Amino acid sequence: MELHKVDVAIIGTGTAGMSAYRAALQHTNSVALIEGDQYGTTCARVGCMPSKLLIAAANAAHAARHTDLFGVHVDNVQVDGGEVLGRVRRERDRFVGFVEETVEEFDASHKFKGHARFLDPHRLQVGQDIEIEAKRIVIATGSRPNIPGFLQEADDRLLDNESLFELETLPQSVAVFGPGVIGLELGQALSRLGVRIRMFGVGGSVGPLQSDEIRDYALETFRSEFSLDPQADVKAVNRTEDGVSVTFLDEGIEITETFDYLLAATGRKPNVDSIDIEKADLKLDDRGVPEVNFYTLQCGTSHIFMAGDASNQVPLLHEAVDEGKIAGGNAGRYPDVQVGPRRTPLTIVFTEPQIGQAGRTISDIESDCRVCYATGEVSFDNQGRSRVMGVNKGLLKVYAEHGTGVFLGAEMFGPSAEHIAHLLAWCAQKRMTVSEMVAMPFYHPVIEEGLRTALRDLGNKLHLGPEMVQKCLDCGPGA
**Residue pLDDT, tens place only, 89-100:** 999 888 888 888
For the chain, domains (ranges, CATH) are: 2-145+269-333 (3.50.50.60), 149-267 (3.50.50.60), 346-475 (3.30.390.30)
pLDDT at 475: 62
CB atoms within 10 A of CB 384: 15
pLDDT at 145: 87
Phi and psi (nearest 5°) for 346?
-145, 125
In the predicted model, what is the mean pLDDT of residues 391-408? 97
pLDDT score of 478 more than 70: no
In the predicted model, what is the mean pLDDT of residues 426-440? 98
pLDDT score of 128 more than 60: yes
Nearest to 399 by CA among 477, 329, 347: 477
CB 305 within 8 A of CB 146: no
pLDDT score of 201 more than 60: yes
pLDDT score of 144 more than 70: yes
| Those residues with Cβ within 8 angstroms of residue 317's Cβ, 6 or more apart along the chain or in another chain | 15, 41, 43, 47, 48
130-139 vs 123-126, strand pairing mode? antiparallel
CB atoms within 10 A of CB 119: 14
What CA–CA distance (Å, rounded) separates 307 from 295?
A: 11
Can you tell me whether residue 347 is helix, strand or coil? Answer: strand
Residue with the larger pLDDT of the pair 252 and 436: 436
Nearest to 19 by CA among 46, 3, 43, 47: 43
In the predicted model, what is the mean pLDDT of residues 280-291? 89
Sequence-separated contacts (24+) of 473-479 with Cβ below 8 Å: 473/370, 475/372, 476/369, 476/370, 476/372, 477/365, 477/366, 477/368, 477/369, 477/370, 477/371, 477/372, 477/373, 478/372, 479/372, 479/402
pLDDT at 97: 82
On the 0-12 / 13-18 / 19+ scale of CB atoms within 10 A, 182 is buried
Among the residues of 115-244, which ranges form H helices?
181-192, 212-223
Q: How does DSSP classify residue 322?
A: H
Q: How far is CA 310 from the centre of its chain?
A: 14
pLDDT at 380: 98
**pTM of the predicted model as reported, rounded to 2 decimal places:** 0.93
Considering only 38-52, 55-69, 219-233, 304-318, which range has the smallest mean pLDDT? Answer: 38-52
What CA–CA distance (Å, rounded) separates 87 from 155?
A: 27
| Those residues with Cβ within 8 angstroms of residue 440's Cβ, 6 or more apart along the chain or in another chain | none
**Segment 154-199, tens digit of pLDDT:** 999 999 988 999 999 999 999 999 999 999 999 999 999 999 999 9
**Segment 318-368, tens digit of pLDDT:** 788 899 999 999 999 999 999 999 999 999 999 999 999 999 999 999 988
Helical packing angle, 448-461 and 417-429, nearest 10°:
40
pLDDT at 44: 55
What CA–CA distance (Å, rounded) separates 143 from 141?
A: 7
Buried b (16+ CB within 10 A) or exposed e, 149-177: eebebbeebbbbbeebbebeebbebbbbb
Q: How far is CA 418 from the centre of its chain?
A: 13
- Beta bridge partner(s), residue 355: 349, 413
